[in-house]
């Protein structure tokens, strides 16, 4: 079971399926473009993957809604394309599709008119389609206007939001912009947003100013925001070692000593996270040992991290002692947030550790939670299969 997805918008309140559905074309891309030209219509493209939960949600609840079906069937040629298979692979590369679901509105020549990413309720989905006919509100028009002009403190976050709404990368122009800002203006709200989200080079002018004026930024944006940025920046300090093709252990250990001497807030946690990233890639045994011994110290209140680690243990670890730590991780994650994903992981690690009685209890809770969240049987089928294994004692 996949425990995480690319970034998506939050799932809205469920819409009720009705009698009609959006009619998606079954031919290849060339035939779809030909039909769009012949009918003088735009093309709605739903770029999806088979593993994407929000994609399935849209298919089940929005594409089958009468309002959405009537609007898109009347005004568009509609196409669903699996971004990881067949023509979808080249399509995703050409149109820079990075997350799912990704909705694009194209003209008959394949030019992007409008686009957005993420699940949405019916009215928002219909509004998205209508916007394609209001030129100055479309993604392509706005992007073009930004590209003609210089980014300013007033519009820089609008530009960033525009690209990120489609999972596109605004970092190049964001960094170009922040390099033009006077140091005295770096703690203004929009400039802080750019610095916080896009500047990771601790040797840069912007970061040197930030590090020399932490109190100023804390006063403006709060201590938690500043500490979070320091932690992100700290991880980037080690990225040349943690992301290298081969592990330079000596260089990495020296970098840790250098970083510790800088005495940043949360230095222990930053080094722990760097170790976790490095060892996960280069020394699995040490990764699991470190995660098992220190997870409570650094992640005891982070259900997402706990769940991710516990699932990693479930997939890769057989040692009973280490699995015992994974059980504690999963249990703690459920104490913080008893979501379907967390309960499912808890059941899985209990099962692998040999605690079948408690595994059965948690698997049943996971299925009950899935049903309460209006998930279909297909969405929790792996938990149901796990429950069968638990009951059979295999």
Q: Which helix (H) or strand (E) holds 47?
A: strand 42-48
Question: Residue 118 CA to chain centroid, in angstroms?
Answer: 10
Report the C-alpha gap between 232 and 218 in whole angstroms: 16
Phi-psi region of 24 (alpha: psi -120 to 50; beta: other; left: phi over 0): beta
Q: How many CB atoms lie within 10 A of CB 65?
A: 23
H helices within 62-183, ranges in order? Answer: 66-75, 87-94, 122-131, 139-148, 156-164, 171-178
Q: Whose CA is closest to 52, among 19, 100, 87?
A: 100
Contacts of 46 (CB under 8 A, 6+ apart): 24, 55, 58, 63, 78, 79, 80, 81, 101, 102, 103
> First and final CA of the chain: distance in angstroms?
19
Active site residue 166: no
Q: Which of 55, 99, 167, 334 is an active site residue?
A: 55
DSSP assignment of 247-302: --HHHHHHHHHHHHHH--TTHHHHHHHHHHHHHHHH-HHHHHHHHHHHHHHHHTT-
User: Tokens representing 135?
Assistant: 């030129």
Q: Cβ distance 343 to 365 under 8 Å?
A: yes
Is residue 334 within 8 Å of residue 343, measured between CB atoms?
A: yes
Phi and psi torsions of 166, nearest 5°: -115, 10
**Catalytic residue check, 55:** yes
**Hey, which residues are catalytic here?**
52, 55
């Amino acid at each position: 079971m996949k425990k995480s997805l690319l970034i998506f918008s939050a799932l809205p309140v469920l819409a009720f399926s009705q009698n009609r559905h959006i009619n998606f074309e079954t031919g290849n891309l060339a035939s779809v473009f030909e039909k769009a030209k012949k009918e003088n219509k735009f093309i709605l493209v739903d770029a999806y993957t088979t593993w994407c939960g929000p994609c399935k949600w849209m298919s089940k609840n929005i594409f089958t809604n009468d309002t959405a079906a009537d609007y898109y069937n009347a005004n568009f040629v509609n196409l669903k394309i699996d971004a990881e298979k067949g023509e979808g692979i080249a399509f995703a590369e050409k149109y820079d599709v990075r997350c799912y679901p990704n909705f694009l509105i194209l003209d008959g020549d394949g030019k992007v008119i409008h686009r957005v990413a993420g699940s949405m309720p019916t009215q928002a989905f219909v509004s998205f389609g209508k916007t394609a006919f209001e030129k100055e509100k479309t993604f392509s028009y706005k992007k073009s206007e930004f590209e003609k002009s210089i980014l300013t403190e007033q519009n820089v976050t609008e530009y960033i939001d525009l690209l990120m709404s489609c999972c596109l990368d605004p970092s190049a122009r964001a960094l170009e912009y922040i390099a033009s800002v006077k140091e005295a203006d770096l703690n203004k709200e929009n400039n802080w947003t750019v610095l916080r989200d896009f500047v990771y080079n601790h040797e840069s002018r912007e970061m040197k100013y930030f590090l020399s004026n932490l109190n100023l930024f804390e006063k403006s944006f709060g201590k938690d925001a500043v500490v979070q940025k320091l932690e992100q920046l700290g991880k980037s300090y080690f990225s040349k070692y943690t992301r290298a093709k081969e592990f330079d252990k000596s260089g990495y250990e020296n970098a840790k000593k250098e970083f510790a001497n800088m005495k940043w807030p949360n230095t222990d946690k930053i080094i722990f996270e760097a170790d976790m990233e490095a060892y996960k890639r280069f020394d699995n045994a040490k990764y699991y040992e470190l995660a098992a011994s220190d997870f409570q110290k650094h992640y005891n209140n982070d259900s997402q991290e706990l769940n991710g680690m516990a699932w990693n243990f479930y997939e890769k670890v057989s040692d009973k002692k280490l699995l015992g730590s994974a059980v504690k991780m999963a249990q703690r994650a459920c104490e913080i947030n008893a979501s379907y994903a967390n309960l499912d992981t808890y059941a899985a690690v209990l099962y692998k550790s040999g605690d079948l009685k408690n595994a059965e209890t948690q698997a049943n809770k996971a299925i009950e939670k899935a049903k309460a969240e209006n998930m279909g049987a297909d969405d929790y089928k792996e938990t149901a299969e796990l429950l069968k294994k638990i009951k059979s004692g295999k």
